[in-house]
Structure 1
Amino acid sequence: MSLIDNTLWWQVFPLGACGAPIRIRSGDDSAHRLPRLIPWLDHVVDLGCNGLLLGPIFESVSHGYDTLDHFQIDRRLGDQNDFDDLISQCTERGIAVMLDGVFNHVAVTHPRAAQLAATSPDGTPQVWEGHNELVVLDHSKSEVIELVAEAMLYWLRRGIAGWRLDVAYAVPSSFWREVTGIVRAEFPEAVFLGEVIHGDYPQFVAESSLDTVTQYELWKATWSSIQTRNFWELAWSLERHEAFVASFVPQTFIGNHDVERIASQVGDSGAVLAVSALLTLPGMPSIYYGDEQAFRGRKLEGFAADDELRPPLPDSPEALSDMGMWMENIYKGLIALRKQRPWLARAHIKVDGKQNEWIEYTVTPRDSETADHDGLHVRLDVDPLAHVAISDLAGHQLFAWGEQK
């Protein structure tokens, strides 16, 4: 099977996790911070993950999405040797690495900004969604096609497995098709994950030739159903998800670098229900660093809106508080259950019943030759007490958790 089918990603925001200065920079803030992730690789494996999904690591102005050079490691994180060491350590552990490619826009101070930027009718560079520090690339220019293809190939040759494509929805699908065609000629197994918020996911995948997109519909329905005690919303979303999986494997999540921490949204008990759904539903799941320890983090407003979502990690997993171990054990149990059933990536979903406060659904293999008992039956209860029950189709209990009061 491909990486799409058998990879469970641990997503990390390197600038934040490694303690780099982001909002306020002064003097020479270069340092070898990227190696701080290496002590966490055994944690990734122990958790049951086999993929490392990295946020921006290229030279940038501040938060990483204002790129200055797609071919250099951000000096706040280190250098090329630090990157090579990280890749080597991941390879030894069987961990695939995906990088975050910001190819919709660049920093206004990018050395080639004037040459690569799209222009407004008055001839001035177009800025990205009102952010005057970011200029949109002109994806019709051959120079932009060459730059993106060269950057993708450069890092694939250095050992990565694929690319997350930031704000992929804002880039013409024809551009992605052309660039990925160039790259796949050399790396046919490379994985391309597009960030897409709304719209027709299957159509976007088909037109862009990307492998998968972020399943924001399911993310929203999961936390919202738990928070508002209305599982009718999740039931509706699962019907949509079933249709999506018929044409591609969506990238699923309950947390990432842009959204409020799941434990902050729905509390600890709600977070257990959310991860139980994540790990029993079809898709290519990712776990945002710290969610497995019930980290908190609010999505705020203004200049530092995302800072709480992207905290520094301690020097090693051993320095974590014991207070989060109960949640980590739940994650480990559910991940182990999923890894024993690789067919879950492309499974069928059937909603068996729902009320405001509970939902039951069954997931079964799309391969009709697989024995019926390989399916899963899942029940999530939010009221009066949160409860999860997972069994096989023969009725044998596989996982159970209940809130205590």
Structure 2
Amino acid sequence: MGWVEHAILWHVYPLGFTGAPRAAGPDEPVVHRLKHLESWLDYLIELGCNGLQLGPIFASSTHGYDTVDHLAIDPRLGDDSDFDRLIAACRERGIRVLLDGVFNHVGRQFPLFQAASESDRAASWFRRAGDGWATFEGHDALIALNHESEAVREHVTTVMNHWLDRGASGWRLDAAYAVPPEFWRAVLPAVRERHPDAWIAGEVIHGLDDYRERAGLDAVTQYELWKAIWSSLNDRNMFELSWALERHSPDTLTFVGNHDVTRIASRLANPAHLGHALAVLFTVAGVPSVYYGDEQAFRGEKYDRAGGDDEVRPAFPGSPEELAPFGAEVLRTHQRLIGLRRRFPWLARAGTTVAHLTNRQLALRAEHDGEVVVTLLNTDDAPYRFPDVEAGVTVAESAHAPGGDPHLVPAQAWTVLTRTAG
């Protein structure tokens, strides 16, 4: 996995984070909002992360996923010099940058689409649907690219290499599941030849390993685990989480929140279970990503309507000092569990076994070269003593003051036990 084995990402939606206007007007003047992110890089480090996962930053008409120019920074965020400056600031701190590549569709203002009615060459870039143009999941403003077109393949290869040349370390491929896997098989070899250390993760909702292998991706998004975490905690049904973990793969981008879903603090029925969700995220395999604001217990609902993403894509203040104090405890929980993940980096590829399972309790175990990590989750209203899952373990992190028995977990609490080699 290279550098990715040690990666913990802070995921930011830049247009929202920087307070950019919702829509880009004609002849939009350049506003250097991308600089706002530089004020938060030390915060990213203090959180324990070492990667910055950016949402769309390329020229678009509205929310960033209706791209009009893949080779230009959105004027609402800045220009090439702002990107270069951000990359340089990240490199000074050892931060890797992951970009969001929207290559399934483009916006209606994409120049070649504007010319599609008059040019066969331009029209060949886009997929037909009946008498009109195919769109992404019925969104009229998002025009589907024709992934059988050689010109489209060459364009995507050029774009990916261009920004990797400029200092990015990898890509999250938006709506990868809507793209034929053969397209990525045709594109990625030329990208990997030029950038062998680049990490490429695709957004996939179902069929994780099947799509990843067919497309030749390094990883895919782990929505199945995301859903199982909050659903199991809300229902106090650990069997769902256990089942999802049996299917879980290390070759995934893991998360409990992102720019497309209701925030974890709003999703959980019991606020006490936020630590449980984080304990799972940071002790199972994959590359974990923290969505900006989740570490501060931000709340926000995702709605299926125009503007339905606004609550989960807010602006951040000018500096960390301006954050409200109510998120301090959740921030510390993130820091503690990220710190534990850093002490056991092999967890990124570890197989997790279910060592004990009831409706309201779950014990997870991972081992590597004599080191052991055991995660105990109790969602009951009474204390619970787990069987002796592992000998010689001590409490590394917990939701409570540890007592004499490491396997005894108080009501609605969690504990992570560890044993080091030697």
| TM-score of the aligned structures, taking structure 2 as reference length | 0.89
Deviations 1:99-151 (A, max 9, x none): 000000000221012221111243x2212111111110001101100110010
Residues 214-363 of structure 1: matches in 2 within 5 Å?
214-241=221-248, 244-245=249-250, 249-266=251-268, 267-363=270-366
Q: Which runs of 5+ in 2 are unaligned?
A: 117-121, 401-410, 414-422
TM-superposed CA distance for 1:385, in Å, is: 6.4
From the superposition, tell whether residues 388 and 153 of structure 1 become closer, same or farther in structure 2 (CA, over 3 Å). Answer: farther
1-structure distance, mates of 2:323, 2:162:
36
**Corresponding residue SS for 2:244:** helix
Aligned-partner residue type, residue 365 of structure 2:
T
2-structure distance, mates of 1:339, 1:31:
37
1-structure distance, mates of 2:86, 2:44:
13
Contact 1:195/1:213 (8 A) holds in 2: yes
From the superposition, tell whether residues 66 and 203 of structure 1 become closer, same or farther in structure 2 (CA, over 3 Å). Answer: same
Q: Which of 380, 397, 400 is the aligned partner of 1:399?
A: 397
Q: Which of 160, 165, 168 is the aligned partner of 2:168?
A: 160
Q: Which of 138, 143, 164 is the aligned partner of 2:146?
A: 138
**Corresponding residue SS for 2:284:** coil
2-structure distance, mates of 1:388, 1:10:
35
Contact 1:273/1:386 (8 A) holds in 2: no
2-structure distance, mates of 1:30, 1:386:
58
Q: Which of 108, 112, 117 is the aligned partner of 2:126?
A: 117
Aligned-partner residue type, residue 375 of structure 1:
V
From the superposition, tell whether residues 162 and 388 of structure 1 become closer, same or farther in structure 2 (CA, over 3 Å). Answer: farther
Aligned-partner residue type, residue 168 of structure 1:
A
Bigger shift: residues 10-19 or 270-279: 270-279
1-structure distance, mates of 2:301, 2:214:
35
TM-superposed CA distance for 1:23, in Å, is: 5.3
- Structure 2 partner of 1:205: 212
1-structure distance, mates of 2:86, 2:384:
39
**Corresponding residue SS for 1:348:** coil
Q: Which of 370, 377, 398 is the aligned partner of 1:380?
A: 377
Deviations 1:226-283 (A, max 9, x none): 1111111001111111xx33xxx21110000001100001143221110111001111
Contact 1:381/1:388 (8 A) holds in 2: no
1-structure distance, mates of 2:385, 2:292:
23
Bigger shift: residues 352-361 or 226-235: 352-361
2-structure distance, mates of 1:392, 1:112:
61
**Corresponding residue SS for 1:210:** coil
- Structure 1 partner of 2:405: none
Residues 157-196 of structure 1: matches in 2 within 5 Å?
157-196=165-204
2-structure distance, mates of 1:31, 1:386:
55
| TM-score of the aligned structures, taking structure 1 as reference length | 0.93
CA RMSD of aligned residues (A): 2.1
Deviations 1:262-310 (A, max 9, x none): 0001143221110111001111110000111111010112101111010
Contact 1:57/1:77 (8 A) holds in 2: yes
TM-superposed CA distance for 1:395, in Å, is: 2.0
Aligned-partner residue type, residue 22 of structure 2:
I
**Corresponding residue SS for 1:384:** coil
2-structure distance, mates of 1:404, 1:207:
42
From the superposition, tell whether residues 194 and 347 of structure 1 become closer, same or farther in structure 2 (CA, over 3 Å). Answer: same
Aligned-partner residue type, residue 378 of structure 2:
D
Larger radius of gyration: 2
2-structure distance, mates of 1:178, 1:24:
33
1-structure distance, mates of 2:390, 2:138:
51
Contact 2:13/2:55 (8 A) holds in 1: yes
From the superposition, tell whether residues 27 and 157 of structure 1 become closer, same or farther in structure 2 (CA, over 3 Å). Answer: closer
Aligned-partner residue type, residue 102 of structure 2:
V
Contact 2:32/2:76 (8 A) holds in 1: yes
- Aligned length in residues: 392
2-structure distance, mates of 1:93, 1:82:
17
Contact 2:24/2:61 (8 A) holds in 1: no
- Structure 1 partner of 2:419: none
Aligned-partner residue type, residue 209 of structure 2:
P
- Structure 2 partner of 1:59: 59
